[in-house]
């Protein structure tokens, strides 16, 4: 293991963060990352109050170490923020909106505030709102992408803009070489998303995991295509037949797309069942049935670096070892 100052802030052993990926990062994955010294996160996306409480309870059952809950502000159901606060989670990750209205409640409850941003302007706003740490998400990232600047430029630009506020890099990072680079650019740690999709504890559907392991860095698409449920929000996904059929049709506008609105699957979880439609915002979790490969397969350009299915613990330990080796064997000799 190795530590940076952000480890002391969150009470963790390694500056390795798991992204709060909707449909993928549940209580099991969050706990598995935290239990071996990283900082796990679970997503509230797709859950109501009872579902979020269940996932938090599962994480708390599996680990006593700190983890975060991610809140996607445009899709935040009523009562979910309050449920997270009541559960006394160590930290909340706010994404895609102004976190300022939530900060006083977090402060009062002793919950640390992490804000994920896609630009320098957003980072400055988050600092002014009272964030304890900022995640700078580069354009290479998978899932919903807030900004338009690559990680290599965004990370040092955000560092210059926010002073000494703790900074976590995200976007295009899948191994220890990426973490070492993020540290060199001014970050205090790195967030990994696509790498943790292909883990045993991930809630992703097995077909989704396979596509991630087989995917190349040139096979992702930045688009707004999967917009039913959240229109106009750009995202990065693996190319699939839904995208190919739409492109063959001449990239028609919403309302005129091939197969638009047809049911392509169902989400079955406990006693809850929900139909899933083509071009929906959902991604395929393990409890989804249907045309999995036709759904939104969120993945970053770092997908080309993900080639195997590991446990979350193995991922964390591998990243630690690769980071140490990169610094010792590649960077340190350059200063002699």
What are 306-316's pLDDT values in tens digits?
999 999 999 99
Nearest 5°: CA angle at 152, between 149 and 155? 80
Instruction: Please check the confidence at residue 252 and state whether its pLDDT lies above 80.
Output: yes
Residue corresponding to tokens 């896609």? 118
The pTM for the full model equals: 0.96
pLDDT band, residue 336 (cuts 50/70/90) = confident
pLDDT (mean) for 94-110: 97
Side-chain half-sphere exposure of 201, counting CA atoms within 13 A: 27
- The dihedrals phi and psi of 277, each to the nearest 5 degrees, come to -115, 160
The predicted pLDDT at position 2 comes to 77
* 39-48, 141-150, 299-308: segment of lowest average pLDDT: 39-48
Long-range CB pairs of 225-229 (<8 Å, 24+ gap) are 225/257, 225/279, 226/279, 226/280, 226/281, 226/295, 226/296, 227/254, 227/279, 227/281, 228/261, 228/277, 228/279, 228/280, 228/281, 229/75, 229/280, 229/281, 229/282
* Phi, psi (deg, nearest 5) at residue 202: -60, 145
Residue 271, pLDDT above cutoff 60 = no
Q: What angle do CA 18, 185, 117 make, to 5 degrees?
A: 50
To 5 degrees, how large is the angle CA 181–CA 187–CA 188?
Answer: 110
pLDDT on residue 268: 79
DSSP, residue by residue, 34-83: HHTTSBEEEE-TT--HHHHHHHHHHHHHH-SS-EEEEEEGGG--TTHHHH
* pLDDT over threshold 80, residue 5: yes
Tokens for 194? Answer: 């696509």
Q: Is 127 in contact with 137 (CB distance < 8 Å)?
A: no
The percent of residues above 70 in pLDDT, for the chain, comes to: 99
CATH code for 5-202+308-335? 3.20.20.70
* Region 38-47 average pLDDT: 94
- How do residues 103-112 score in pLDDT, each as one tens digit? 999 999 999 9
Average pLDDT score, the chain: 96
Q: Where in the chain is the domain with CATH 3.20.20.70?
A: 5-202+308-335
Q: Is the pLDDT of residue 54 over 70?
A: yes
In the predicted model, is pLDDT for residue 270 greater than 80? no
Mean pLDDT of 103-124: 98
Per-residue tokens: 30: 């969050």
**Helical segments of the chain, H only:** 5-10, 27-35, 49-62, 80-86, 103-109, 120-129, 151-162, 176-184, 194-197, 206-214, 241-248, 312-325
Q: What six digits make up the tokens of 309?
A: 């299915």
Is 206 a residue whose pLDDT tops 80?
Answer: yes
Token readout for 308 is 């195997």
CB 248 within 8 A of CB 274: no
Res. 47 pLDDT band, cuts 50 70 90:
confident
Q: How far is it, in rounded angstroms, from Cα 167 to Cα 96?
A: 17
Question: If 0-12 CB within 10 Å is exposed, 13-18 middle and 19+ buried, where does residue 199 land?
Answer: buried
In terms of Cα–Cα distance, which of 172, 208, 210 is closest to 192?
Answer: 172
The percent of residues in the chain predicted with pLDDT above 90, rounded, is 92
Q: What is the pLDDT of residue 273?
A: 76
Q: What is the pLDDT of residue 228?
A: 96
Average pLDDT over residues 198-207: 97
Give the mean pLDDT of 229-239. Answer: 97
pLDDT over 60 (residue 46): yes
Task: pLDDT band for 80, please (50, 70, 90 cuts).
Answer: very high
For range 13-40, the mean pLDDT: 97
Consecutive H or E run containing 97: none
Q: For 92, how many CA atoms within 13 A lie in the half-sphere containing its CB?
A: 30
Which pLDDT value is given to residue 318? 98
Of residues 23 and 168, more confidence is placed in: 168
């Amino acid at each position: 293991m190795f530590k940076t100052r952000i480890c002391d802030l969150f009470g963790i052993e390694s500056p390795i963060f798991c992204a709060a990926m909707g449909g993928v990062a549940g209580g099991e994955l969050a706990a598995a990352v935290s239990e071996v010294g990283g900082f796990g996160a679970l997503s509230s996306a797709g859950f109501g109050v009872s579902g979020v409480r269940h996932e938090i309870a599962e994480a708390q059952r599996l680990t006593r170490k700190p983890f975060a809950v991610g809140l996607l502000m445009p899709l935040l159901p009523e009562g979910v923020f309050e449920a997270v606060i009541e559960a006394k989670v160590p930290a909340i990750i706010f994404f895609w909106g102004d976190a300022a209205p939530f900060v006083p409640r977090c402060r009062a409850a002793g919950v640390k505030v992490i804000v994920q941003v896609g630009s320098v302007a957003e980072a400055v706003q988050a600092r002014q709102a009272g964030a304890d740490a900022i995640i700078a998400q580069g354009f290479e990232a998978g899932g919903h992408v807030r900004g338009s600047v690559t990680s290599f430029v965004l990370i040092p630009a955000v560092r210059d803009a926010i002073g000494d506020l703790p900074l976590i890099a995200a976007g295009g990072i899948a191994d220890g070489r990426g973490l070492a680079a993020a540290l060199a650019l001014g970050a205090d740690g790195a967030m990994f998303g696509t790498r943790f999709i292909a883990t045993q504890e991930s809630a992703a559907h097995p077909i989704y995991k396979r596509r991630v392991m087989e995917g190349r860095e040139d096979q992702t698409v930045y688009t707004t295509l999967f917009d039913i449920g959240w229109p106009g929000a750009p995202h990065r996904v693996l190319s699939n037949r839904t995208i190919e059929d739409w492109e063959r049709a001449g990239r028609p506008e919403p309302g005129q797309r091939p197969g638009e609105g047809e049911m392509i699957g169902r989400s079955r979880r406990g006693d809850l069942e929900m139909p899933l439609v083509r071009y929906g915002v959902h991604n395929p979790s393990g409890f989804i049935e249907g045309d999995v490969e036709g759904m939104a397969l969120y993945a970053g350009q770092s997908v080309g670096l993900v080639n195997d299915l590991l446990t979350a613990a193995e991922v964390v330990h591998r990243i630690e070892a690769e980071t140490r080796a990169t610094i010792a064997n590649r960077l340190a000799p350059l200063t002699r």
